[in-house]
Every structure is written in C-alpha cells, then in structure tokens.
Chains A and B, each alone.
Chain A
C-alpha cells in the first residue's frame, strides 16, 4: 500500500507545459536518475547486456517513467529534452573520467573504468568533451539549432520525431540540424 505517491510523470509533463520551473527540475531529476540508474544497471550487467546503447537507455527510461500509458508526443517532447540533457551529462561525466584515467592512469593504458562504462559509451572522450563545449556555445548563439542537435545527437530522435517534439516543421528541423552540424563541425576545427 503506497503511502506516498509521487506525482505521475504525465502530471509533471503537464506542469512543465504550463511553464512550472520546479516541475521542469523534477522532470530533469527523474529523467536523469532513471537514465543513470539504467545505465548503471547495464554496466553492472544486471540487465541482459554487457554494454548498452544510448537509444536503449533512453528507451528503457521512457518506458520506466511512462509505463505503458500513452503519452502525448508533445509532452513526451519535454521528456526527450530532459533525456537529451541527462544523456549529455552522463556522457560528459564519463568522458571526463576517462580522460582523467588516461592522463593520470599510469598503469598500463587499458581503460580500467571503475564504473565499467561500456564501449558504446566510449566515444572518444576528447571529442565528446569538445562537442559538449561547442554545444554550450551553440546553445547561447542558436538555441533552437542546439535543441535540435541535442535531441538528435543525444537521444537519437529522427528529424520527424524532433519536429513533433518541438512542434515545428520537418524542413525547419532538417535545416536546423544541418546548420548545427556545420556549425559544430566548424567549431571543432573541421573534425
């Protein structure tokens, strides 16, 4: 018998839509916790696999948070926004850890990650951190393009899904995505 019932995620999404800042934070917190927990469980091999894939994590988090309730895509858009940020933070934390291990590691050169981050997450840490930095700049200068880039890059939404999440047209998203890619590519010194 549950004594305390946390507000269902759909309620939080509704609140987020009304512009409730604390609801936004709550959504972000829950999404991050969920994604982190799922990622960690994957790492510990408690879930079937040894390694994981960004999409799988997001997917599981989504199902976990939403259950099987049908979610309106526009509110799910907020979830994906939060998920993108969560994934981003997770990847950046991981990349930092890996970079630190690489520099100070000493013993051998084999990654000996304490948290056992999986190879899928092991994008090149330098690149990951550089992308993160550039993304922050992009957020300042071109927030919408950055939003698109984050949704695509961190949660794997398609152009179509991104368009629906942000309630704008496909073509706009496509153009934003290409712009963001070009911009980031240029910012990362052509590589």
Chain B
C-alpha cells in the first residue's frame, strides 16, 4: 500500500472507531490515538460532523431487492419454542401470553388468556428488528382502525400498549384483540364441500363486514381468504387491518400520510389493477416483490384452494406484511400513497407536475385508491370461492408481468369451469373484477346486494334480466296471473301485423339516418354531427347540458361492426352534470348504443384562475376535438381521441388525448381557444385554429384591463407536437417570446391584426393539403356585422404558401364579402363534413321568428371545380330560433342572412341573399 492510501485507511479506521463514542469523547479519543497528526484528527472530526449533519434522505437507497432474502445463505433461524421467553409472561397484570400462533413480516402473534373476563385473546407484537417510524406508525394504526369498527364479523381489539419484553430490544408495541379460531374462507368452503348457496351466503356476510369498514372510511387493501376466517360456528371474521388505509374523508384522527413514497401493498393475486399498476408505474413507487425467490416460480398460479397460503389454525393473524411465504408473494414496500392512474379512464387525475418540472415532487393530494379496490379483491375472492381457482394464471410470471396480466388480461368467466355459474353469477363476478373501477360495484354493499338478489332469485344489477328470464321469474312468482296474461297475449297477437306496418312506416321516415343510429337519433337529447371519423365537434355552442353525438368511429378492425360513438356533453355549471364525454358502442344484436366509458371535466387543480373565482372542473366544458392516429402503434394501438375542454368565460382550454378506451395519454393546458383541430400525420403536428388567450394570462399577471385589451381575441393558427404519456400542468403559451414555465408551440401564426377585437369567426375549417401543409378557410364577421371569408394555405412549418386572391390582407378579407365560389365551396364542405345525416330531417322550429333574423341554409349545393358558382343549390328559410333548437351545425347559414335585416351596406352578403325567393 502506498503512503497516501494508508493515511486514508487510518482516516477510515479512526472514523469507525470514534463513530460509536458519545460526541464529547470523540475528540479526546482521537487526540489520544493519533497524537502525531492533528490534521488527520481534524479531518476525522469533520467527517464525524458530516455524518451527523447529513440529512436522513441524503443518498436514500432504493428499496432492497428483497427477493434475495430467500437466496441468502443465512435464512432466519427457525422458530424455536425452547428459546422463546415470551410464553408464560404476564402483560399488564391481566393477560398471560401462551403460545405463538404465527408470525408475519412485521409482527408475531401469540395466543393469550385474559384473567377477567376469562377469554382467549390474540396478542400481536411488533418484531423489534422491524421498528422504523413507518412500520411503527402502521402498527399503531391497526388497533386504532379496529377500534373504529364495531361489527360482529370484524375482529375486535381490546387494548394496545407498549411493553419491554426483556429481550434487550426495549419497549415494543403490541395490541390485544379477539381470538379468532377459524380457517380461511375458501378452505373452509373446500373442506366442508359447501354448496354454492352457503358459499355465497358466507361471502355476503364478508361483504357486509368490508362495507362496515368502508363506511368508516377504511379500505382494507389486503382482502384474501386468509384474512377472512370462518369459525367453527360458521361465522366469518374479517381481520388483519395491518395495511388498511384510512380515506382522507373519514373522521379518523390519524395522520396517515406516512411518507411521500408510494407503495404497492397487498397480496398480488387479490390486488386490483389500480393497486398493481401504481406500484410499477408511479414515480417513486417502491415496488418490490417480497418473498420472491429466484428459486421458485415467483407467483403462485391457478390452483385448487388447497394451496391457500395460510395454514389453518395459525389464523394468519399476523399475515399483514412481507410474509416469508413463497406461495403467497406479496408485493409490498414502503409508505402509503397509492394513486391509481391507469388503467382508469374515468376522472383522469391531473398529475401534479412541479412548476419547475425538473425535480419531481410527491403528489400531495390524497391517493385515489378507494373502496372499489376492495370490491375488486372481493371479486377475486368470490371467483375463488365458486370456482376454486384464481381468475388469472400468473404462475411463472415475474411481478411485473403478473401485474400487467392483472391490469390487462380479461379473466376467464367462472362459467368456463362450472356451467351452473352461467348468467347472473358470471356477470356479478366479472363486474366486480372490472379493470375500470367505475364499472365495478360502487361499494361492497352493492356487491353484497347483488349476491343476495341472486340468492333470492331476483334480477341482479350486474345483468339486467332478459325478457325471458324476467318472464320466467315472474311466472314462477305469480302462477295465476301468468295464466291470465298468456290468454291476454293471445289476443294481442292479433295486433301484431298492424304494429309491424307502423314500424315499417317509421323506418322509412328514418331512412336518411345511417342504419346504426336510429336509436341514438331517435333520442331527442342526442345530436348526430359527423360520420367521417375526423371531426369530433367543431362547435362549442353551449346547449345547457345537451348531449351531442359528436362522432362515430368505424373500426376497421372488425369490418365496421364495431361502431363507436363519442358523445360530448356540453355541460354548464348550472346543470351540474359532471360528465363531459361518453363513449358508446353500438350493440348490433340489441340495436342500441351502450355506454362504454365516460370522461369527466378535467380538474384544473393548481392552475391559476384569471378571475379569482372558484376554479372547478365544472368551469370547463367539452368543446372540440378530433380523432386521429396520433401516437404510432408502438405506443398506442389504433386511433386516439383528441378532446378540448374550454373554460367558460375565459380563454383557457385543456387539450387531452385519450385512447379509445378512455385512457389519458397526453394533456396540455393552453391560454387559447381551440376552434378547429386537425392532425397532420406527415409532420406529426396537431394544427389548431383558435383564439389566443394571452389577455387572460396578462390578467393573471396583473396587467390592467385597458392595457391588455389589444391582446383580446386574436385569432391564431398554431401547431404543437403531442408526446406520448406527458401530462402537463403547465400552459401552452402563444406568445412570440418563450415564457419560462410555459410550453411554446412549434409555431404560431396570428390571423389579423391585434386590434381587430371584434372580429368573430363564425366558422373555420382546416383541411390537409398535399405536401403536408393545410388550408385554413374562415368565414367570419368583421366590424359592424360585415362578413367575409378568407382562405390561406400554410406549409407544414407554418409558412404562408398561398392566399385566396382577395384575402391578401386578412382584415380586408374580413370586411369584404367573400367571392361566391369560396363561400359555396366552403358551405358545401361543411355540409358534407358535418351534417349530412340530419339535413333532410331538419324541420324549422315552430314559434315566432323575427323576419330580420330569418336565415337560410344551403342544401345539396355542389362546388364548381372551375371555381364558379355552385351548380345546383337551393335555399330555405327558417327562423333563427331553430338554430338554438338544433344546435350550431347551421350556424354558418347566418352568412346568408336576410338582407333586409342586419347587413350594414358596406358589404352585402353574396348573391344568394334573395330571401323572398326560396326555391
């Protein structure tokens, strides 16, 4: 060894030796040991000081890969009753510890006897080697939680305290609870060969117990057969709240956000997709697979319940944490936050991004894990109870792929194993196992209810009865009435031919509507807008909660049979309808639209409100969108849905991209309105036309009203590039100079001068053109109700490539009448693109129509390829209020307003303004 190295070694040695001394003795000790080198002493002292000063989180190691624990050549010593000093020991002068029942990762459970009243108790003691503040807190929470729960089927807690058990570990916390002498639910059912009915009855009781916990705001999080023991009397008892989670809304006064870290906790097979997914996908998640041995298949697979992890009798009272069991791997780690982001199409939680997003910050909001995760676990339990198998074969999978299976694979219907389960039970179980928790039972009570309905032969909510089963059920209940009804129906048969005739007539009336949508169209609250698979909704007119069918997707995958419809709800704050968008699927056999998923308004979360009001999701409504293949197939299969929610009363929007399952893939907020969006696959840019909201950003920054007036309502075309899986909580900002903390678009072009504050564009249309560019066509009103149009072509980089001859100057284009050709072409396009299906059905609204407000719409017009006037066209008039009845698709027709009414003379509407002579 060289000289400097040995000095370094000496430094290390001295440091190590002095480390354990009380700080006052360190310096004298060092001076004594090293009298010749005061500099070294100073160095060691400085290091010792640094050791003290380093904060706990300095160089925090990640969680240990504890799958190694099995591979260690020194497994923990097997339990040796001879060495256990605890049995026979007295506690608090009331309890006698008797013998060990079992142990879990964190704790040991003993059976004990209480003197008065005399009864058997279970005493759970925290293992000294696991005492960390976190574990301690969780351990102490458990009796607190249990004390809140007063239910005959939940284990009761008697008391909790700390005691020095004399093993040199100092005082250890423990608690005393009811002794449950039982065996795991599934094993009980298996051993006794219980008939289906009794299994379901036991299960219903367990649901009730879980629901009791939920009522108190407690999620169990580790429901599995081993935690629901059935006593010799056949009474199930729910136990082990060692990883239970207290919901923020509950009244429990336990500060329960243990740390900022995330956790994957629970037993894998019973874990809901949202529990699984988070551990592997959340930042800072400390997923690890405890008790995963490389020597063994990491996850036990489908198997008869004989393989149930918890041995009978040992009661698995202590099974709450990283158990040593190989067969029953638990994924666990530290802390308590479990925000489930995916797959969860509903209410995509805006993820909190740091304003300076370089450093991730823990999400301070309460985790989104909720009681429905327990409902899922109950579903697995029910599955296992009736089929004696687990829903997923995750044998031989690593934790990650097992989690993926849980998140993605569809479970085999229970009836596959037992045909008796067909129908309602299948439906109940599959509903409880839904990946998307919004589709699960809302609570354990609902699940219980459905199971009980099934038991009593009533229709279940999971599977609304078919007319046949309903009839059969009804006939069983009311045999006399049934006879009468049959006689009556015979008479009714005579009517059938007449009814059929009526229906044929009805169908004829609906001819113009595509075959798939009669039902939807028939519903007056639904409006069809587009079938071209491109435009979701170009119009943002608020219709007070009116539903519009905004688009139809025809999936090429299934030859057009898998039709889907997106319905955007123009909800207003007043209507208090939270849902903003629903995806329906066309059910061909039933000839009906069925909701698949729905999206709620995005939560603006931490974003600043320009007006200092309460800034809630209700302030945003669905405004615009399109469907396109934004992310290539590697990332996301198939098309994506681009949706814009527009803030009401202020120019702020949020654009979100979802996949067809509703999963949120991208989000960006914008100080802008999105009036038209197209996707340019060549340049991979979203091209948007809309209004710049910089005025509102300036308002937020405190610019006085008069100064910011010139920034208002500037029309812009801009482009940005969506990125897969980015959820920004920052704004896309359309300022010429980049502003820190915001995102700049790829490019942005202003349409019209800034001071054109009154310019209002009635319609804009973006169209892709050859070479990756696009064309913007706008019809709008300029100052003093003048009208005009413009047509501009842009290159993919936003460069101006061509203008319409008379729109060299955008402002002049606005104040001059558009040439007929453009107008017709434009109108024609709108017609074709947006509302062919309802064109023929459109009936002018009844009621008084002001003559001045009569308007026209074009029908069947065709653009002349040579640019001349349309070849055939017709006009009709209808009162303006029809417009509000039917929504905005015909808004463009205002251009063709009655000349007697409002035109100002400076610019007349084009030659079609001959209202007195509709064809």
Residues of A within 8 A of B (CB): 44-45, 47-56, 58-60, 62-63, 66-74, 76, 98, 102, 106-112, 116, 118-120, 122, 124-125, 131, 141-142, 145, 149, 152-153, 155-158, 160-161, 164, 175, 178-179, 181-186, 190
Contact = CB atoms under 8 A, between A and B. Distances in A.
Contact of B282 (A51, A109, A112, A116): A51
B16 A142 contact: no
B15 A179 contact: yes
B16 A76 contact: no
A118 B262 CA distance: 15
A186 B42 CA distance: 13
Interface string B64-75: 111110011110
A141 B2 CA distance: 11
Contacts of B358: 98, 102, 109, 111, 122, 124-125
Interface in B227-276: 276
B725 A116 contact: yes
Contacts of A124: 358-359
Interface string B1-45: 000010010001001100100000000000000000000000000
A76 B68 CA distance: 9
Give the top 5 A-B pairs by smallest Cβ distance, nearest first. A49-B281, A119-B283, A49-B280, A182-B51, A156-B62
A161 B279 CA distance: 23
Interface stretch (B395-403, B828-836, B837-845): B395-403
A35 B296 CA distance: 22
A68 B296 contact: yes
B743 A48 contact: no
A62 B8 contact: no
A182 B15 contact: yes
A47 B51 contact: no
B16 A56 contact: no
A125 B64 CA distance: 23
Given A111-B357, A122-B358, A124-B359, A51 B281 contact: yes
A182 B59 CA distance: 10
Contacts of B357: 109-111
A13 to B, nearest CB: 13
Contacts of B279: 49
B12 A142 contact: yes
Interface stretch (B284-292, B599-607, B687-695, B785-793): B284-292
Contact of B61 (A47, A118, A152): A152
B586 interface: no
B50 A186 contact: yes
Contact of B400 (A48, A106, A141, A149): A48
B385 to A, nearest CB: 27
B730 interface: yes
Contact of A47 (B74, B353, B404, B728): B404
B277 interface: yes
13 contacts: A49-B280, A55-B65, A58-B65, A62-B294, A68-B296, A70-B71, A71-B294, A106-B738, A107-B738, A111-B357, A122-B360, A124-B359, A125-B358
A164 B50 contact: no
Nearest to A185: B54
Contact of A73 (B47, B71, B356, B741): B71
A66 B65 CA distance: 14
B276 A59 contact: no
A185 B15 CA distance: 15
Interface in B59-108: 59, 61-68, 71-74
